[in-house]
Amino acid sequence: MRLYFRIAVYLFAMLAFSVAKAGSYEDYFRAIEVDNDRGLTRLFAEGFDPNTLDPRGQPGILLAMKGQSYKAAQVLFAQPALKVDEANPVGETALLMAAMRGSVDWCQRLLDRGAQLNRPGWSALHYAATSTEPKVITMLLDRGAAIDAQAANGATPLMMAASYGSEDVVALLLARGANPKLLDKRGVDAVGHARASGREPLAKRIEQALR
């Protein structure tokens, strides 16, 4: 009877632990989503792993950058075990998301912590080129970003800017030496990307750089 009692107690304890762990998992990603720095601080004090991935394989620090949950990011960043360059299943990292959001400060902090600037495939400069913040472009280039980096589909940062970025970003990339003659895997250049996005004035501006 005592043996059965001990087994029952053990199983109950394991069940309670599993429920608590599941609750912490949900609380962790919820805290990031709503930028709850106090909630994250409590979870980390209880031993929660800052490198835990969500069901889609998204690291918490990446989600914080994507959602601009910067108070939560600050708490995450303070964890010595944090892997700042952890990528999601499609190769995105926190640095790429910070670049897309135009956060010069967080890009600098992530780079200083060891984030990879020139990754194979999509780079931070590709993502920054879709923003409206030229300061991020300048900072990344000054830190050594490859201006004509080509993703797997051949897209360059200039092509991304031509499709989604501001005219100021396009102008800056051209001024810093981006090559408007490069073609993606479909044979389309930056001018073609601008036209495909219905941005005829920008296409003409890029055409002038071809002369």
For residues 131 and 203, membership in a common domain is answered with yes
Quick: pLDDT tens for 109-155. 999 999 999 999 999 999 999 988 899 999 999 999 999 999 999 99
Q: 200 falls in which pLDDT band (50, 70, 90)?
A: very high
pLDDT at position 210 is: 83
User: Can you give the CATH number for the domain in which 39 is found?
Assistant: 1.25.40.20
Alpha-carbon distance of 104 to 191, in angstroms, equals: 28
For residues 138 and 61, membership in a common domain is answered with no
Percent share of the chain, pLDDT over 70: 90
**Residue showing tokens 């589909």:** 153
Residues 79-84 have a mean pLDDT of: 97
Alpha-carbon distance of 167 to 134, in angstroms, equals: 10
pLDDT at position 12 is: 33
Residues 38-63 have a mean pLDDT of: 96
**Last residue within a domain, chosen from 33, 61, 85:** 85
Query: Whole-number mean pLDDT of the chain?
Result: 90
Residues spanned by the domain of 79? 1-85
Residues 6-30 have a mean pLDDT of: 55
pLDDT at position 132 is: 87
Query: What pTM was estimated for this model as a whole?
Result: 0.87
For residues 136 and 210, membership in a common domain is answered with yes
pLDDT at position 9 is: 33
Single-letter code of the amino acid located at 202:
L
Spatial contact of 195 and 203, defined as CB atoms under 8 Å apart: yes
Would 191 be classed as within a structural domain?
A: yes
pLDDT at 8 over 80: no
For residues 35 and 77, membership in a common domain is answered with yes
**Last residue within a domain, chosen from 45, 63, 85:** 85
**Last residue within a domain, chosen from 39, 63, 85:** 85
For residues 210 and 146, membership in a common domain is answered with yes
Would 138 be classed as within a structural domain?
A: yes
pLDDT at position 155 is: 98
pLDDT at 16 over 80: no
Give the least confident one: 10-24, 79-93, 145-159, 170-184.
Answer: 10-24
Q: DSSP letters along 12-77, please?
A: HHHHHHHHHHHHHHHHHHHHHHTT-HHHHHHHHHTT--TT-B-TTS-BHHHHHHHTT-HHHHHHHH
Q: 209 falls in which pLDDT band (50, 70, 90)?
A: confident
Would 105 be classed as within a structural domain?
A: no
For residues 164 and 205, membership in a common domain is answered with yes
Coil vs helix vs strand at 8: helix
For residues 126 and 210, membership in a common domain is answered with yes
Would 79 be classed as within a structural domain?
A: yes
pLDDT at position 36 is: 97
The tokens describing 56, both together, are 């889609």
For residues 81 and 144, membership in a common domain is answered with no
**Residue showing tokens 């280039």:** 141
Would 200 be classed as within a structural domain?
A: yes
Residues 94-118 have a mean pLDDT of: 97
For residues 71 and 156, membership in a common domain is answered with no
Would 196 be classed as within a structural domain?
A: yes
Length of the chain: 211
For residues 76 and 9, membership in a common domain is answered with yes
Would 101 be classed as within a structural domain?
A: no
Spatial contact of 124 and 150, defined as CB atoms under 8 Å apart: no
Would 174 be classed as within a structural domain?
A: yes
For residues 211 and 121, membership in a common domain is answered with yes
Q: How many domains does the chain have?
A: 2
